[in-house]
């Protein structure tokens, strides 16, 4: 090795790790990826976060204190026939167009290859030999489930990859490996409604609601991108993934981490649950939107303590007109105070609904600072789709749940939590087509008006004590950094 090579090698060994972090184009993915990036940057690692221009603009800005360690790089999303102009995330398209968004996402392979090649060239140049951080060749690419096309790029530059799963660990246990599914094919919703045979202990890892099973069965079938989500994950996991990192921990999902390490023949590493911090709550505002939410916040300030149920089903929920009607009439029937983050793209509310509930309910069709609302003294419950992020946000404030999972992995996380009942699920019809207003009202009343709600809140408080142990959660991140250093 020449003198320049020796200097570069010495610099690389003493420099902080450089991670390129690249999530799928859904805010339920981008936000946890960015949160992980911030927490690793606070530990001195150099993190390059990759997305598209519109998504980068919509995500929260990098705090000035982290700018030396965290940067955001945008790649232009290619146009695809049938995909609306300006659509860069799943929040911009209806569910039936997500396959086209994946096709456009696949078109990022070439610009991403150029980004990596430039980083590697910069790191190998004599001028950068003693540089640190972003000037160095990446030590890792941390990717999502969808980039089955990354492995040739990583292989060319000899960069190891890790997958960061934003789902419950139970989701990957349910998915299993390709060989498990070849031995036990799942082609119909009924196949997804029972525990997979490769989970050797009793568990709740199954999609027992038919409408959820139908959504999950679809991940095994090719979509408009030409490939199934399951095949994307299996190809990426097998070809280039040295580690699988989970937004979870053994306290949240007992028994699953050893099983996952065995199923995929590589370490399954806990990153912790990334529960919101006090700083996250304080910063969960936007000057661009604050004015639009001000009337709702003023209303909330006037309500009695723990009297309001906050209703939010995520920014990408596939809400039908029937869903919105039955949910609205169920809230009316329940007779409790509520604040509903409905969103501007949802179907219309029933005629006269807002007038009839004006004395005790507020519907927000625009942006809502969810963490600030959940933290408010007047909020005593959360009607949620049970996305993994929403579960941890609710636990941060020990709020009991009314659970209304609609698609994908929603609901599986609550089922996987260790024998701690923290909510009441809204009953669906036997055929899984919808739910009735009476079921909504019954679940809301149990949580907000009956003794059961107090018991659920106590259990949520207990679980927060376990999963909110900051020292333990910080230790998981430190252990993750150790894995990245040892396995690079």
pLDDT in tens, 364-420: 988 889 999 999 999 999 999 988 999 999 999 999 999 998 877 777 877 766 556
Rounded Cα distance, 465 and 459, in Å:
10
Output the CA–CA distances (angstroms, integers) from residue 53 to 36, 76, 118, 461, 473, in the order listed. Answer: 20, 6, 19, 40, 32
pLDDT attached to residue 262: 96
Please tell me the number of Cα atoms within 13 Å of 348 on its side-chain side.
3
pLDDT attached to residue 485: 95
Q: Is the CB of residue 139 less than 8 Å from the CB of residue 18?
A: yes
Low-confidence residues of the chain: pLDDT under 50: 1-13, 126-131, 287-288
pLDDT attached to residue 6: 37
Residue with tokens 């306290």: 251
pLDDT attached to residue 129: 44
Rounded Cα distance, 392 and 394, in Å:
5
pLDDT attached to residue 284: 64
Could you tell me which of 173, 151, 176 has the C-alpha nearest to residue 162?
151
Token pair in block for residue 330: 């169920």
Domains along the chain with CATH numbers: 3-276+469-487 (3.40.50.2000), 281-467 (3.40.50.2000)
What is the percentage of the chain residues whose pLDDT exceeds 70?
A: 91
Could you tell me which of 114, 121, 133, 107 has the C-alpha nearest to residue 48?
133
β-sheet bridge partners, residue 246? 165, 270
C-alpha R_g of the chain: 23
Confidence (pTM): 0.90
Would strands 423-425 and 401-403 be described as parallel, antiparallel, or unpaired?
Answer: parallel
């Amino acid at each position: 090795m020449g003198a320049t090579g020796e200097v570069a090698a010495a610099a690389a060994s003493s420099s902080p790790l450089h991670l390129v972090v690249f999530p799928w184009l859904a805010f339920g993915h981008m936000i946890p990826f960015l949160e992980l990036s911030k927490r690793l940057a606070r530990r001195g690692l150099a993190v390059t976060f990759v997305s598209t221009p519109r998504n980068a603009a919509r995500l929260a800005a990098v705090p000035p204190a982290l700018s030396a360690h965290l940067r955001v790089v945008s790649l232009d999303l290619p146009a695809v026939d049938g995909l609306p102009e300006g659509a860069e995330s799943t929040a911009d398209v209806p569910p039936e167009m997500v396959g086209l968004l994946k096709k456009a996402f696949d078109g990022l392979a070439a610009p991403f290859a150029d980004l990596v090649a430039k980083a590697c060239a910069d790191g190998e140049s004599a001028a950068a030999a003693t540089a640190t951080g972003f000037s160095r060749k990446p030590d890792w690419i941390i990717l999502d489930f969808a980039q089955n096309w990354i492995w040739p790029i990583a292989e060319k530059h000899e960069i190891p990859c890790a997958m960061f799963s934003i789902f419950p660990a139970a989701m990957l246990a349910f998915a299993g490996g390709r060989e498990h599914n070849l031995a036990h094919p799942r082609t119909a919703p009924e196949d997804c409604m029972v525990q997979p045979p490769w989970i050797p202990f009793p568990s709740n890892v199954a999609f027992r609601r038919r409408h959820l099973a139908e959504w999950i069965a679809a991940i095994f079938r090719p979509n408009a991108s030409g490939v199934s989500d399951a095949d994307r994950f299996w190809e990426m996991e097998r070809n280039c993934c040295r580690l699988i990192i989970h937004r979870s921990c053994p306290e949240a999902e007992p028994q699953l981490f050893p099983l996952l390490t065995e199923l995929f023949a590589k370490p399954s590493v806990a990153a912790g649950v990334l529960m919101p911090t006090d700083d996250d709550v304080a910063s969960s505002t936007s000057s661009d939107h604050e004015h639009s939410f001000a009337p709702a916040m003023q209303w909330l300030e006037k309500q009695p303590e723990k009297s309001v149920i906050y209703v939010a089903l995520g920014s990408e929920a596939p809400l039908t007109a029937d869903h919105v009607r039955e949910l609205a009439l169920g809230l009316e029937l329940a007779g409790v105070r509520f604040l509903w983050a409905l969103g501007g793209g949802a179907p219309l509310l029933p005629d006269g609904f807002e007038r009839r509930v004006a004395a005790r309910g507020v519907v927000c069709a625009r942006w809502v600072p969810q963490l600030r609302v959940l933290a408010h003294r007047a909020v005593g419950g959360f009607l949620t789709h049970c996305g993994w992020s929403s579960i941890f946000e609710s636990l941060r404030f020990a709020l009991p749940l009314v659970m209304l999972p609609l698609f994908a992995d929603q609901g599986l996380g609550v089922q996987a939590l260790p024998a701690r009942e923290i909510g009441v699920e809204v009953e669906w019809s036997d055929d899984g087509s919808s739910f009735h207003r009476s079921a909504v009202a019954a679940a809301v009343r149990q949580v907000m008006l009956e003794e059961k709600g107090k018991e659920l809140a106590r259990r949520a408080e207990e679980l927060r004590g376990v999963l909110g142990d900051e020292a333990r959660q910080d230790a998981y991140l430190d252990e993750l950094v150790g894995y990245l250093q040892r396995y690079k």
